[in-house]
Amino acid sequence: MYETFYRLGKEPFRLSPDPEFSFAHRSYARAKAYMQYAFNRAEGFVMVTGRPGTGKTTLIGDLVKSLPRSQVSVATLVTPQLEAEDLLQMVAHAFGIGAPMHNKAQTLQYLTLMLRREREKGRRALLIIDEAQDLSSDALEELRLLTNLQQNGRPLLQIFLVGQEELKELVHEKSMEQVFQRIVAACHLDPLDENETREYVRHRLHQAGWRNDPQLSEALYPIIHRFSGGIPRRINLICGRLLLHGAVERKHRLGVADARVVVAELHAERLTTMSPAADNIFQAEDRFLEAPPQPAGSASRSAATAGVPPQSGRDAAVDAAPEEPAARSDSGSAVPTPQAAQRTVFPPPETSPFEMEEEEGGHSWLWWLLFLVLLLAGVAFAWYEGLLG
């Protein structure tokens, strides 16, 4: 709804992950660099953790999008709350194995054959497991055994584990020592700080085609950071509702008062635990750094909105001319002059009457004719006096 009112190309604050809107803040860029490093190593596990809504799934999508698809086969599993044997079958299906598998041995046989064929084609196999904190210890151990599959001394499969902070506790358990030793890289996605929150909001708006409509007060960003905790998904929630509020109210400037209304609504709906009541952050003054763009023809519309009729033609030309100083009498008092719309524009005193443009006088050729007549008369008079002398 609001993207139509604000002429955005797409919705910038969807809650579902979208790699197209990925924002490389400090910990995001670090995590992506670690994953790319581990991918080039082509072995073991990579572990990415973070609180819910910090952008883990977006990070994975961003990384997969950057991989050369002709050189890598990617399989992704989400919410794998499965036993070890069921997990193996899900991995096989994720890699496109459609043959019936009646037991664990058959599943491993098909999976090993597929991985070897991919290696013979010059392709690598990458398995990404999202929400990996829900894996059981037995399932995680089965995944470790898959990383032991090799051909000519090179691993056939690499696994990325992506999950919430509980995943770190799982792999650090004493029974998971062998899994822990196979982790090539581990990184954690932190919430955004206040400056990163501002850049994140503006980045997503620009990705959606934002042209500074609506204008956003600089005082909004500390409020958004305070009530989102710097979690990108919560930032999206607040900003989406803020733009919806602006569209409903038909506003092209959004400030502190609008943020207070939105946060109060979210608190009433129990979508945020923080109450805006008696919070001093809402006492900040609005500051708008940029003026909204002026599309073609907007000057006339602005004038009409202000109750001033737009000027055109001769009236506009007269008003655009510099105002002449008021004439004064010998005593020094000002002499009233006709109104600007009624006065005729004459050339400056030092301008020759012969230089007047036709559109101002319309008879400049008469001045030239008079000049020639006087010149000829002077020549004839001088010649006549010479004869008499």
pLDDT tens for each residue of 71-81 = 899 999 886 67
Position with higher pLDDT, 294 vs 26 = 26
Q: What is the mean pLDDT of residues 302-316?
A: 44
pLDDT of residue 343 exceeding 70:
no
pLDDT of residue 287 exceeding 60:
yes
pLDDT of residue 138 exceeding 60:
yes
In this prediction, residue 363 carries a pLDDT of 56
In this prediction, residue 165 carries a pLDDT of 92
CA–CA gap between residue 293 and residue 295 (Å, rounded): 6
Lookup: tokens for 242: 């803020």
pLDDT digits (tens, 9 = 90+) for 1-59: 798 999 999 999 999 888 889 898 999 999 889 888 888 888 889 999 999 999 998 99
In this prediction, residue 20 carries a pLDDT of 87
Q: What is the mean pLDDT of residues 165-191?
A: 91
Give residue for tokens 């829900």: 134
CA–CA gap between residue 72 and residue 67 (Å, rounded): 7
Segment among 48-62, 155-169, 216-230, 340-354 with least mean pLDDT: 340-354
Domains located in the chain, CATH noted = 26-189 (3.40.50.300), 193-275 (1.10.8)
Segment among 78-87, 271-280, 295-304 with least mean pLDDT: 295-304
Closest CA to 55 of 246, 307, 285, 234: 234
Instruction: Give helix 220-228 / helix 194-207 axis angle, nearest 10°.
Output: 110
Contact 194, 222 (CB under 8 A): yes
In this prediction, residue 318 carries a pLDDT of 38
Q: Is the pTM of this model over 0.75?
A: no
Segment among 156-170, 339-353, 359-373 with least mean pLDDT: 339-353
Contact 41, 184 (CB under 8 A): yes
In this prediction, residue 65 carries a pLDDT of 86
In this prediction, residue 314 carries a pLDDT of 40
Segment among 48-62, 266-280, 326-340 with least mean pLDDT: 326-340
pLDDT of residue 336 exceeding 60:
no
Contact 254, 220 (CB under 8 A): yes
* pLDDT tier, 328 (very low <50, low <70, confident <90, very high otherwise): very low
Percent of the chain at pLDDT above 90?
Answer: 44
CA–CA gap between residue 236 and residue 89 (Å, rounded): 36
Percent of the chain at pLDDT above 70?
Answer: 78
What is the rounded average pLDDT for all residues in the chain? 81
Segment among 116-130, 145-159, 160-174, 332-346 with least mean pLDDT: 332-346
pLDDT of residue 222 exceeding 70:
yes
* pLDDT tier, 274 (very low <50, low <70, confident <90, very high otherwise): confident
Give the CA count within 13 Å in the CB-facing half-sphere of 121: 14
CA–CA gap between residue 363 and residue 350 (Å, rounded): 19
pLDDT digits (tens, 9 = 90+) for 235-269: 999 999 999 999 999 999 999 999 999 999 999 99
Closest CA to 187 of 45, 310, 53: 45
In this prediction, residue 351 carries a pLDDT of 46
In this prediction, residue 204 carries a pLDDT of 96
In this prediction, residue 80 carries a pLDDT of 64
β-partners of residue 59 are none
In this prediction, residue 368 carries a pLDDT of 73
Give the torsion through C-alpha atoms of 119, 187, 83, 143, to 10 deg: 30
